[in-house]
Amino acid sequence: MKTEDMKRGLIITGGNLDLDFAGRFCRGQKRAFDCVVSVDGGLEKTRALGFTPDAIVGDFDTVDHEILKQYRRNPHILWDVHKPEKDETDTELAVNTAIKLGCSSLAILGATGRRMDHELSNLHLLKLCLDRQVEAYLYDPYNKVCLLDREKTFRKTELYGKYISFIPLTEQVKGITLTGFKYPLKDKHISIGVEAGLCVSNELTEEEGSVSFDSGILICIESKD
């Protein structure tokens, strides 16, 4: 799918979200979003960022009822209301809603932070997106996270941070080759718990670098110092 054909979605979750960072991120060049989905407690941050969401998702156990009333007055907002006792997390529901609304690219804010359980769950939501051929990224002030099931080229001018790490999501990732990196590799296998740290904290030394591999799925993290 060409970039210009993508419907870009923004998900604002109820997790930790630095508003200064979020404001800069949303104002950045090429950050035009076609669809905004707000998650439960993320409604307060959505309002602070000046967005009117296209959809609001959650059980609303952590959001101010006055804010709910404000958005209830808007007839154009899609509401997806759930009971607190449910099988999915609110962020998972938001991802499913964004995909149903036709989003082929997702930026997810507030998905990392104090709750490690939620953070790991949100990381695994990227697999749901990968399976549905939706580009999806978790962003916070220091990291950009995605999953790779095929080769990828990196350009210094487009990097989110100085460091690039590759960590196996599947039990094994075979035939990893890194070119243009400070620590190159050629046809290397890495497994969970076995040399899993081999591809952590690498850096580009060329203007462009690439990762390729034969099988498996990699967690790709671009990090700032």
Confidence of residue 180 (pLDDT cuts 50, 70, 90): very high
Q: How far apart are CA 92 and CA 34, in angstroms?
A: 19
**What local confidence, expressed as pLDDT, does residue 220 receive?**
98
Query: Which residues, other chains included, contact 9 with Cβ-Cβ below 8 Å and sequence gap of 6+?
Result: 33, 34, 35, 36, 37, 98, 101, 103, 105, 106, 107
**Domains, in order of start, for the chain:** 3-141 (3.40.50.10240), 152-223 (2.60.120.320)
Q: Are 214 and 161 in contact (CB under 8 A)?
A: no
The pLDDT tens digits for 118-134 are: 899 999 999 999 999 99
Q: Are 40 and 12 in contact (CB under 8 A)?
A: no
Average pLDDT of every residue of the chain:
91
The pLDDT tens digits for 191-214 are: 998 887 899 999 999 999 999 999
Q: Per-residue pLDDT averaged across 79-85, rounded?
A: 81
Q: Per-residue pLDDT averaged across 51-75, rounded?
A: 86
Confidence of residue 2 (pLDDT cuts 50, 70, 90): very low
Of 209, 164, 210, 216, which is closest to residue 189 (Cα–Cα)?
216
Query: Which residues, other chains included, contact 12 with Cβ-Cβ below 8 Å and sequence gap of 6+?
Result: 22, 36, 37, 38, 39, 42, 45, 46, 49, 51, 53, 109, 110
Q: How far apart are CA 36 and CA 17, in angstroms?
A: 16
**What local confidence, expressed as pLDDT, does residue 200 receive?**
95
Q: Is the pLDDT of residue 6 over 80?
A: no
* Residue 6: Cβ within 10 Å count: 15
**What local confidence, expressed as pLDDT, does residue 86 receive?**
74
